[in-house]
Amino acid sequence: MTDQRRIEEAAARLRAASESGEPCPPIRDLIGTDTDIDVGYAVQAVNVDLDIAAGRRVSGRKIGITSKAVMEQVGVDQPDFGTLFVDMEYGDGVPIEHGRLMQPRAEGEVALVLEHDLDRGQHSFNDIIAATAYALPSIEIVDSRIADWDIRIVDTVADNASCGLYVLGGKPVPLRDVDLRTTPLQMMIDGETVSTGDGAACLGHPLHAARWLADVMCERGTPLRSGDVVMTGALGPMKSLVAGNSVVCDFGSLGTVTTYLEHASS
């Protein structure tokens, strides 16, 4: 197990990159492993705790690396999770300020908003359905603090699962009104289709992904709570973004969601 000093040094490297806007080298060299996920979560927890102490409010959790396409893109073979904060959340159509992100990539996802806590330890599929108030179309904009996205699983876990921002659609959809497993994704950047997929690409079903997260969060002593947003994972490959790009994700009956990355002069 990596000692606490190295964990704190790795957390400080990631925090400095976030504050300066300049990506840093991978942290796996500091902690001496690129596979020990528990060490990665220990690094993540240092910065999450500091953020909470500084007044940032947790809004939910995200699940990362849920589709085979994304696993292949980043060279890992299992999901991870990160913490969402209120200041990461954007509404449908709200532009994202220039300079807010370093190396952004967009993913189309199903977001769930919880009506009830998920704190039973091990959860059934039905527990997830019963706890969910509604689903929303969403865009996650992932953003690595690691230069050139040179990541292994421990790097992205330590980096809060490469959390950047998330954008929520404005029309809640009850689960009874949509089949999330067959929900399609068409993601367009500047009007060109760049990514397609469906709910089955997300661990077989977005609710399976949410079930995985609910169990893991209970194991770690921080259960999902009523009101939490759960970003369930990508339905198709993520795509890089640059200033000026507009992004539209169409999820069929679940609805659409849009965002725009401002230019420096905007």
d(CA 206, CA 232): 6
Domain 58-261, CATH homologous superfamily name and number: Fumarylacetoacetase-like, C-terminal domain (3.90.850.10)
Per-residue pLDDT band at 71 (split at 50, 70, 90): low
d(CA 147, CA 143): 10
Domain ranges of the chain: 58-261
Report whether 239 contacts 106 (CB < 8 A). yes
Query: At CA 25, angle to CA 24 and CA 31, rounded to 5?
Result: 115
d(CA 127, CA 167): 26
pLDDT at 2 (0 to 100)? 66
Choose the weakest-confidence range: 70-84, 132-146, 178-192, 216-230: 70-84
pLDDT at 21 (0 to 100)? 94
pLDDT at 122 (0 to 100)? 94
> For the chain, what is the mean pLDDT?
94
Supply the pTM of this predicted model.
0.95
Residue with the larger pLDDT of the pair 73 and 161: 161
Q: In the predicted model, is pLDDT for residue 250 greater than 70?
A: yes
Strands (E), the chain: 58-64, 80-85, 89-91, 95-96, 104-114, 132-143, 165-168, 184-189, 192-198, 229-234, 239-240, 246-250, 256-261
Secondary structure in 3-state letters for 43-92: HHHHHHHHHHHCCCCEEEEEEECCCHHHHHHHCCCCCEEEEEEHHHEEEC
As given in the structure block, the two tokens for residue 240 are 């890089």
Share of the chain above pLDDT 70, in %: 95
